[in-house]
Amino acid sequence: MGLKELREGLAASLIERDGEIDALLLGLVAREHVLFISPPGCAKTQLAMSLAGAIQGANVFVRLLDKFTTPEELFGPLKLSALKADRYERAIAGYAPTAHIILFDEPFKASTAILNTTLTLLQERQYDNGGIRISCPLRVAIGASNEVPSAEEGRELSAVFDRFLIRRMMRPIAPSSHERLMFDDLLPVKQCATLTEIDAAAQAARLLPISGSGKEALLQIVAELNAAGVRPSDRRMRKAVGVARAAAMIDGAAEVQVGHLEPLADVLWDDPAQADKAAEIVQRIANPVGSKLNEILREVEQIAAAAVDKAAAMAAVPKLEKCKAKADHLAKSGNGRAAKLVEAINDRIIMVTAKAMDRSEDKVRAFLAATK
């Protein structure tokens, strides 16, 4: 059992959530919290439950927060026996202070009192109970939100938002995977790792050295971000190194190389409006091939979106074929993501061709297979 098996087990139980799984593993190993920003219905809760189910001995705590959420819902009811002894103590077993993995759904909608108490748990992994500050076993907290707080919404919201170091924009699955989503039997989550293994990986990651090329690339990323008006806080820049170390550990590397900086696209920004610019800069430096693949993907999405009728769909097909050729060229170098993109573009070609010919996708697929 280990991190590799954990990732494979989670990927087998979910559809098109590789990036989110990677973010969760980074959070576990780097000991940083993860925020998913997405519309409702993107399986955010399932991600957290799957992660907890895959780690032997892990306790998970899930709560939807709103302005009416009470401390009892998060931290447990008051102990009557303690009150009789003039102690204000909560029965915390089974609540947030005893969880290894926490999912706070809509964390920015909680009251100020809840936010302030939650901050101590997230930042220090401690909880004040009955006048005694206790250590909490929290490995990673996952936030799931449909929106992010604005700068005008108060210091408490900004503070909680900042505690989620890894922040990922989560999208609904692509149309090409709708059939799998609706009809496939996904594999159940199996226990693939232990808390002891996760903790050992976290400890080892903190000791990994940063290669000279990795340092140079990270300094270049920060310089280009600043030049583009993206200025992550000192805290984020410092902690970004820990995330890069976690990425190297998960990759099985002996030191942090340039490619391990790619996850920092989800770290090195403070303003959500700057997330796309940060991702473009980080990926261009840390993963030039991945940057090219993203450009191709954006082009494919624009072409497919413009295929609104038969004539437009007919014109879109050769454009999609050109995109497929670009991705195929990168796939020949052995890039696995490029190979997946080729398959995805092929699915788009079939979809658009079906619209142009007024035929079912199955018939178009069979026709294209017969003409190869």
Q: Are 353 and 365 in contact (CB under 8 A)?
A: no
Domain end: 244, 279, 314, which one?
A: 279
CA 284 from chain centre, in angstroms, equals: 20
Pairing mode, if any, of strands 132-135 and 126-129? antiparallel
Same domain, 250 and 272: yes
Shared domain check, 164 and 26: yes
- Percent of the chain as helix, strand, coil, to the nearest 5: 60, 10, 30
Q: What percent of the chain has pLDDT over 90?
A: 47
Whether 87 and 131 have beta carbons less than 8 Å apart is answered as yes
Q: Is the pLDDT of residue 236 over 90?
A: yes
Contact 29, 201 (CB under 8 A): yes
pLDDT confidence bin for 153, thresholds 50/70/90 = low
Predicted local distance difference test score (pLDDT) of residue 23: 94
Q: Quickly state the pLDDT bin for 151 (edges 50, 70, 90).
A: low
49 and 20 together in one domain: yes
Percent residues over pLDDT 70 in the chain: 94
Same domain, 216 and 299: no
88 & 171 share domain: yes
Closest by Cα among 263, 338, 269, 336 to 300: 338
Q: Do 360 and 337 share a domain, yes or no?
A: yes
Final residue of a structural domain among 238, 258, 279: 279
| Residue 119, domain extent | 3-183
Lowest mean pLDDT among 92-96, 146-150, 255-259, 352-356: 146-150
pTM above 0.95, yes or no: no
Q: Which of 22-26, 83-87, 167-171 has the highest mean pLDDT?
A: 22-26
Cα separation of 93 and 75, whole Å? 9
pLDDT at 65 over 60: yes
- Give the least confident one: 67-71, 327-331, 363-367: 363-367
- Give the tens place of pLDDT for each residue, 198-210: 999 999 999 999 9
Residues 138 and 275 in one domain: no
Looking at the fold, whether 126 and 23 belong to one and the same domain comes out as yes
Q: Does 189 fall in a domain? A: no
Residue 149 lies in a domain: yes
Whether 157 is in a domain gets the answer yes
Residue with tokens 């991705």: 327
Per-residue pLDDT, 42: 66
Q: Mean pLDDT score of the chain, rounded to an integer?
A: 87
Do 49 and 160 share a domain, yes or no? yes
If one counts the domains in the chain, the total is: 3
Answer yes or no: is 365 within a domain. yes
Within a domain: residue 192? no
